[in-house]
Structure 1
């Protein structure tokens, strides 16, 4: 799922904001994030409360320029109401990060696992998403129906998603029902037994989801451009996976895959909303057995190499879906904010260059936008358009002109000011949504082992200069690009692969 950030207009609860980056698969639908990543890597600066405070952990504070020399102790005293953010790492390796929001009636809870299609090979592609589905199919003490009924009985929301590089199970409830939500999610996470009968039924469900995605051209386009940029690499695989893997994988291989990735040190519990931290701490220990040391398998996220392939898929549809992709920057790069701002100016909204030129001035498209994605070891910058096949060649010529002008002239003062304001105000607006904050706190901790800070995020944008943004523009567009085409077969379908920059 993607959680939005500044100019993001992702199709995800209309919150869309996650770094995924690329796309996300939930139990019910695939949501795509088109534009800026909401998640950021910078740490919150905690304030020591002095005497009688409890030491939760020790950490090193990082700013945009790298690690500081000093270690600081993260402390809190429950009676001090101004302490709103908490972090704790347990003996098991499990991490808890929480944002208290006392003026809310509700609380959002997420269990983030550091596993997605980037962790798969050709023989296991699709298992991360399949496992996500199967955790809803029952435990020794709860049937699939009981899991649903227990949370429906208290009016809570329950769902999950799988992305390229993470999986999340989450609830939203009134704060009084937080314990019930922790009880159910921990039971699913720890004890899902995946009975054969349920597995076979869910196999059919996932295969139908794959068929549905194949009938959605924009989804096909998003998968194809990922494959073109990361050709023959794990990150180039689809989230839903190879249908043959889903058809023929057995219960033993699925349970083994879960065991290899679902362990405490690979997991973050994220909470945002109204709660008492002392009580939350006790609940995590009780239900997730977090106080017990646990063996930690070694799991590395693979390095990525950018490719410049052109891939196409002909479909009997009315529109052509055309994409280009360049290598971007990593999740914790000090160029993160600059690339988001560059994306905003080029194709992030109604005032962006691509929207104003290609749609408003020339009327060639209904949809055109750019969006970045960020991963632990790499990143992408993509441009998408949906348009009539007859306009593909003209679109490619205009796109080439706009990108060359963007690189040569750089971002303007007004574009920079606008993008910074949009980014900062989006951060502030999203900080009032506890589900959105839960997701960003969870993902930032999962991917960078830091506590998210709204102020650090805000400062990252406000401190940007034109030189910062123009440098990343030149860096990204100096790279070779990958490209893709989905749509009806016609003479100029490959024009996107021939763009000269």
Structure 2
């Protein structure tokens, strides 16, 4: 296993975790742009643009793109988040050359007016569909209330109004600025011919022009809030709580995830045994979100609306028991084993390493092996987890609940 990195003259970074023993390879362009880089006027443009990338290029129609993806036998897709847009595919090593040619060409889409108008309707339907399925927009509302004026409050899908008002020219301008080579990272994992990869991408992108790309990083100002949303057709009540947590640059993120696993993993945790296993709730979990400048420690509860108030009070009691029920050595060991197993088992697939290696590189410009990442969690001490547990008692939280009831 070897890590290799090159920065081309135009600023495009090429990195790879080369595993000569792998049977496949995964390639992906990580674009350092997402909903946090949008203004409210163009909210949703990153996700909309992700769709448009598959609609063809000056060299290929949309049919050509999809046919070639099939011809390669690839497993391919894309996603947009608050901080990244990623286009990726997994192929056999013999197909590295055509896969790279296709993926690189897709980074310069045609963005035709007729495709733009057609896809706009698809996006609007996606927004409507998302708002009409559990938890019925509660996650987006929680993000907005928690982050306030911070850029991370911007919805990844955008809103009906922002997407409806978006013009093709605005998207072209956004693409020109944010898809510049110095804002891209080509990531590869598995059985990769790195020298050939660098040579080919350099040849295909020499004419790409860098741009001035900026991202504002600062912590949000969080206020205690409780928001109730009513959705009469819902058969369950859903409650989310966000409080401040460590970001991707903060070493405390390892402690936070271990604590979340002990308290609220979806199996074998304190919340699981007290609420889910006993049939009191369908779901009761803790989780963490990490961004470049901040993070979230979250709680989630789903269940019978008539029991929601009692269940939420039980959750609050459990996460406030740092004095009466401190974390035990056994709980710490179980959580560390679970996290380590997840990291190391997933690392056997190049596609999983693509996301781990690429995500770490574009967010904090650092490479670590799966074993090194696992060791960070193994190194978390009982004292560190207990201290984080005690900190939950004084957290400033935003709570959003949605359902047929006004239970919370």
Same fold (TM > 0.5):
yes
Residues 477 and 116 (structure 1), Cα distance of their counterparts in 2 relative to 1, 3 Å cut: farther
CA contact 2:143–2:153 (8 Å) conserved in 1: yes
Structure 1: how far apart are the matches of 2:237 and 2:349? 36
For the pair 1:403 / 2:403, whether they are aligned, the reply is: no
Structure 1: how far apart are the matches of 2:116 and 2:262? 47
1:122-133 mapped onto 2 (5 Å cutoff) = 122-133=40-51
Residues 103 and 359 (structure 1), Cα distance of their counterparts in 2 relative to 1, 3 Å cut: same
Structure 2 equivalent of residue 299 of structure 1: 214
Runs of 4+ in 1 over 6 A off after TM superposition: none
Structure 1: how far apart are the matches of 2:301 and 2:155? 20
CA contact 2:74–2:90 (8 Å) conserved in 1: yes
Structure 2: how far apart are the matches of 1:293 and 1:250? 24
* One of 191, 196, 209 as aligned partner of 2:126: 209
CA contact 1:87–1:451 (8 Å) conserved in 2: no
For the pair 1:167 / 2:85, whether they are aligned, the reply is: yes
Structure 2: how far apart are the matches of 1:264 and 1:200? 27
For the pair 1:368 / 2:284, whether they are aligned, the reply is: yes
Structure 2: how far apart are the matches of 1:209 and 1:471? 42
Alignment partner of 1:365: what SS?
Answer: coil
Structure 1: how far apart are the matches of 2:272 and 2:323? 17
Structure 2: how far apart are the matches of 1:400 and 1:375? 25
Structure 1: how far apart are the matches of 2:116 and 2:302? 37
Structure 1 equivalent of residue 307 of structure 2: 391
Taking structure 1 as the reference length, the TM-score comes to: 0.78
Structure 1: how far apart are the matches of 2:198 and 2:397? 47
Structure 2 equivalent of residue 195 of structure 1: 112
Structure 2 equivalent of residue 321 of structure 1: 238
Moved more, 86-95 or 366-375: 86-95
1:102-501 mapped onto 2 (5 Å cutoff) = 102-189=20-107, 191-218=108-135, 220-289=137-206, 294-305=209-220, 306-315=222-231, 316-361=233-278, 363-406=279-322, 409-490=325-406, 493-494=407-408
- The Cα shift of 1:489 comes to 2.9
- Runs of at least 5 residues in structure 2 that lack an aligned partner in the other structure: none
Please give the per-residue CA displacement for 1:376-413, whole angstroms capped at 9, x wherever unaligned.
00000111111111011111221121011146543211
Structure 2: how far apart are the matches of 1:465 and 1:408? 19
Please give the per-residue CA displacement for 1:2-41, whole angstroms capped at 9, x wherever unaligned.
xxxxxxxxxxxxxxxxxxxxxxxxxxxxxxxxxxxxxxxx
Structure 2 equivalent of residue 96 of structure 1: 14
CA contact 1:92–1:294 (8 Å) conserved in 2: yes
Structure 2: how far apart are the matches of 1:349 and 1:367? 8
Structure 1: how far apart are the matches of 2:183 and 2:249? 18
- The Cα shift of 1:319 comes to 0.3
Structure 2: how far apart are the matches of 1:266 and 1:385? 38
Structure 1: how far apart are the matches of 2:53 and 2:324? 51
Q: Once superposed, what is the RMSD of the aligned Cα atoms? A: 1.7
Structure 1: how far apart are the matches of 2:390 and 2:209? 47
- The Cα shift of 1:157 comes to 2.4
Please give the per-residue CA displacement for 1:58-87, whole angstroms capped at 9, x wherever unaligned.
xxxxxxxxxxxxxxxxxxxxxxxxx52211
Structure 2: how far apart are the matches of 1:220 and 1:178? 40
Please give the per-residue CA displacement for 1:92-139, whole angstroms capped at 9, x wherever unaligned.
111111112223322111100111111122111111101111111111
Alignment partner of 2:271: what SS?
Answer: helix
Count, aligned residues: 406
Structure 2 equivalent of residue 4 of structure 1: none
- The Cα shift of 1:327 comes to 0.5
Structure 2: how far apart are the matches of 1:348 and 1:138? 42
CA contact 2:4–2:16 (8 Å) conserved in 1: yes
Structure 2: how far apart are the matches of 1:327 and 1:387? 25
Alignment partner of 1:405: what SS?
Answer: coil
Please give the per-residue CA displacement for 1:134-160, whole angstroms capped at 9, x wherever unaligned.
111111111111111112122112211
Structure 1: how far apart are the matches of 2:237 and 2:168? 40
Taking structure 2 as the reference length, the TM-score comes to: 0.95
Whose helix proportion is higher, 1 or 2?
A: 2
Alignment partner of 2:333: what SS?
Answer: helix
Please give the per-residue CA displacement for 1:461-486, whole angstroms capped at 9, x wherever unaligned.
12111111122233354221100011
CA contact 1:182–1:287 (8 Å) conserved in 2: no
Residues 152 and 473 (structure 1), Cα distance of their counterparts in 2 relative to 1, 3 Å cut: same
